Amino acid sequence: MKLFRIRGGVHPEERKVLSAEHPIRDIPLPDVLHVPLHQHVGTPAQPVVERGDLVKKGQQLAKDDGVVSAPVHAPTSGKVIGIGMFAAPHPSGLPVRTITLKPDGLDEWAELPPPIDDPFAAPPEEIARRVAESGIVGMGGATFPSAIKLNLRERCDLHTLVINGAECEPYLTCDDRLMREFSEQVIDGARVMAHALGVGRIIFGVERNKPGALDALRKAARPFPEVKVAGLPTRYPMGSEKHMVQALTGRETPSRGLTADIGIVVHNVATAFAAYEAVRHGRPLISRVVTVSGGAIRHPANLRVPVGTSVRALLDHCGGFTEKPTRLLIGGPMMGQPLPSADVPVVKGMNGLLALTRREAPDAMAMPCVRCGTCVDICPCGLVPLDMMAHVRRDDISAALKIGLGECMSCGSCSYVCPSHIPLVQYFNHAKGRMKVMAADEQRAEGSKALAAKRAERLERELRAKKEMLARRKAESAKKKRAAKPPPETMAAPPKAAAATPSPPETEPPKTDPTMPLANAESRTAPMPETAPAAPIGDAAIAADEAPTGAVEVEPLAGVTVSVDDPSGPALATDAALLRTLQEKALEKRRQLDGASAQPEASNVHPAETGKGGKDDR
Ligand code: SF4
Ligand code: SF4
């Protein structure tokens, strides 16, 4: 099969010999299992059991939550003795939600879903569903829920399935052993996945440093012409999805794109084995093969370990340490994560547990960069690690992003070759962690903004409703008042209307308040100019609205309105005496006009003011 060159890469000392010839063996059931609910990329699973429940092997403990999630199953039968926070196998050592199970020693299986006898006749969706229900995730370390990848047929034009058996990290041999010991099952699992994807071509990519695995796979694949097994050059990081696809097909995956964008889906060999178990036997993913190795391990081994087993139990099973390790890692030495403690559980994505001595992992002091350019030459992604490091050191992450930090796959090749022992990949991992925190902060801030806007909107809505309610009440109350008022004929006619239509002289003068000689309160308080011009007198229809601005209108008696032009404006005082004179003159004029007798029947001037007695004068 024709192969293609990949850019960069390194060839670190393999040290696979420590465990490569140790067949896979089961580890005895531990006293207690801590099963984390977040063993995959995406949302943690949600428990479906409670403390005190008795469960059987393979029974679902927690269901998947959302599109990107995976369920978790009981690795053995026993009793749920706790659901709470427990340390996770992560450099931070931070706890995650975990179900603690006390095995009963019976290892009794639950009722499993029936095997799919002829998976190649089953609809692809059924295979993907079975893989999802079995909690299968990418077992090469990525831990992405595998069913999502199997459903890519719905949105991508797929043609090839690549099974990744490169296992390019030094020390690790778990995939090698799986391919050698379970080659037929792995081939069958790959064919079932290819059926689910709807592709007609399967390529196994295995580094040439695993001749046993290559032979076993080629033999198992012989009856299936659609399956090809390719021996790849031993070069780290050949196990990277994009680089393996390039080496096998010569096609480059677009930057920030998926291999599915060029029609190719990649799964790990251990994932293919898990798919076989799920489809052919109905067994969920409850255990995995882990390589326990390193110079400090007394008896390196490849162990089939129930998920949730303590790392300490693995170390004990392998005879403990020959010397105190300087580094305890999960995964390989290039991309592995340091473990803060051995009291963490094995999870679905853990392929190796390494205890390295000082000779294997010396603590070299970082020196200044000599700008040798070696890191640039070997970077498989074509990046300039020394420049990215300089930006990250200055805390200028956006500048590092501009020159490709987002493309860095943290393979560690640059750190491995740096003659100054600069931990370049640690800078990049730190920066990526900062980016995640910043993105989370930004998302939180956006969320708070949205909440504040919603609150303001709600308050405004409530205020508007309140105002409308008050207006409604006011209108109702005004309506009620109007309804309660006496009919219009019983009401006194407005003064102006009376003035406009002079009424016949009344037989009795209106009663007036002696303390209020003039009816208009305004006229009492308003100042009057000393030399107010004489107003036209003579008719009651001397219209007030014809008066210029500032006119002081006096309506002392019904039927008589006197307007005094006030050029100084309404602020001038009114002289009450002058007004009375004017009113008297107006009455006199009216009498003359009406031809009334010289003796008035009633005076418009209050008797109290004239000093003469009147009807009200008692
Ligand atoms: S390999 Fe190290 S010393 Fe050389 S350029 Fe890169 S960072 Fe600098
Ligand atoms: S860690 Fe990143 S920068 Fe360094 S070699 Fe790998 S991909 Fe390149």
The answer to pTM > 0.75 is no
Give residue 388's pLDDT band: very low, low, confident or very high (50, 70, 90): very high
What share of the chain in percent tops pLDDT 70? 80
Decide if pLDDT at 532 tops 80. Answer: no
Query: Which of the ligands is closest to the CA of residue 383?
Result: 2
Task: Let me know if residue 562 belongs to a domain.
Answer: yes
- Which helix (H) or strand (E) element contains residue 496? helix 495-500
Q: Angle CA(206)–CA(209)–CA(212) in degrees, nearest 5?
A: 75
Are residue 442 and residue 558 in the same domain, yes or no?
no
- Which helix (H) or strand (E) element contains residue 472? helix 424-484
Q: Distance of alpha carbon 335 from its chain centroid, rounded?
A: 29
pLDDT digits (tens, 9 = 90+) for 30-74: 999 999 999 998 999 999 999 999 999 999 999 999 889 999 999
Structural domain including 375 reads 364-454
Query: Which of the ligands is closest to the CA of residue 419?
Result: 1
Which one of 260, 277, 293 terminates a domain?
293
Q: Distance of alpha carbon 430 from its chain centroid, rounded?
A: 22
Helices (H), 121-173: 124-133, 146-150
With a CB cutoff of 8 Å and minimum separation 6, the contacts of 20 are 173, 176, 177
Are residue 187 and residue 281 in the same domain, yes or no?
yes
pLDDT digits (tens, 9 = 90+) for 125-167: 999 999 999 999 999 888 999 999 999 988 899 999 999 999 9
Give 262 or 364, the one with higher predicted confidence.
262
Ligand 2 atom with minimal separation from the 378 CA: 5
Are residue 249 and residue 142 in the same domain, yes or no?
yes
Domain count along the chain: 3
Are residue 276 and residue 421 in the same domain, yes or no?
no
Give residue 180's pLDDT band: very low, low, confident or very high (50, 70, 90): very high
Are residue 169 and residue 258 in the same domain, yes or no?
yes
pLDDT confidence of residue 610: 40
Task: Let me know if residue 98 belongs to a domain.
Answer: no
- What sign does the CA torsion over 499, 501, 503, 504 have? positive
Given a contact cutoff of 8 angstroms between Cβ atoms, the answer to whether 144 and 131 are in contact is no
As for ligand 2, residues whose beta carbon falls within 6 Å of it are 379-381, 383, 385, 408-414, 424-425, 428
**DSSP per-residue letters across 313-339:** HHHHHTT-BSS--SEEEES-TTT-EE-
Which one of 293, 308, 334 terminates a domain?
293
Distance separating alpha carbons of residues 143 and 284, to the nearest angstrom: 15
Task: Let me know if residue 156 belongs to a domain.
Answer: yes
Task: Let me know if residue 221 belongs to a domain.
Answer: yes
Residue 37 tokens, joined: 């609910």
With a CB cutoff of 8 Å and minimum separation 6, the contacts of 107 are 29, 57, 76, 77
Are residue 381 and residue 523 in the same domain, yes or no?
no
- Residue whose entry in the numeric block shows the structure tokens 């200028």: 396
Decide if pLDDT at 599 tops 70. Answer: no
Task: Let me know if residue 25 belongs to a domain.
Answer: no
Task: Let me know if residue 243 belongs to a domain.
Answer: yes
Are residue 269 and residue 373 in the same domain, yes or no?
no
Which one of 435, 454, 473 terminates a domain?
454
Residue 95 tokens, joined: 């706890």
Closest CA to 187 of 285, 282, 267, 291: 267
End-to-end CA distance of the chain: 136
The Å distance, Cα 352 to ligand 2 centre, comes to 22
Are residue 555 and residue 406 in the same domain, yes or no?
no
What share of the chain in percent tops pLDDT 90? 69
With a CB cutoff of 8 Å and minimum separation 6, the contacts of 581 are none
Mean pLDDT (the chain) is: 84
pLDDT confidence of residue 399: 95
Are residue 428 and residue 537 in the same domain, yes or no?
no
Task: Let me know if residue 429 belongs to a domain.
Answer: yes
Task: Let me know if residue 245 belongs to a domain.
Answer: yes
pLDDT confidence of residue 100: 97
Give 596 or 174, the one with higher predicted confidence.
174
Mean pLDDT confidence for 77-106: 91
pLDDT digits (tens, 9 = 90+) for 555-597: 444 444 444 444 333 333 345 565 666 667 777 777 777 664 4
Decide if pLDDT at 528 tops 70. Answer: no
Given a contact cutoff of 8 angstroms between Cβ atoms, the answer to whether 204 and 230 are in contact is yes
Ligand 2 atom with minimal separation from the 425 CA: 1
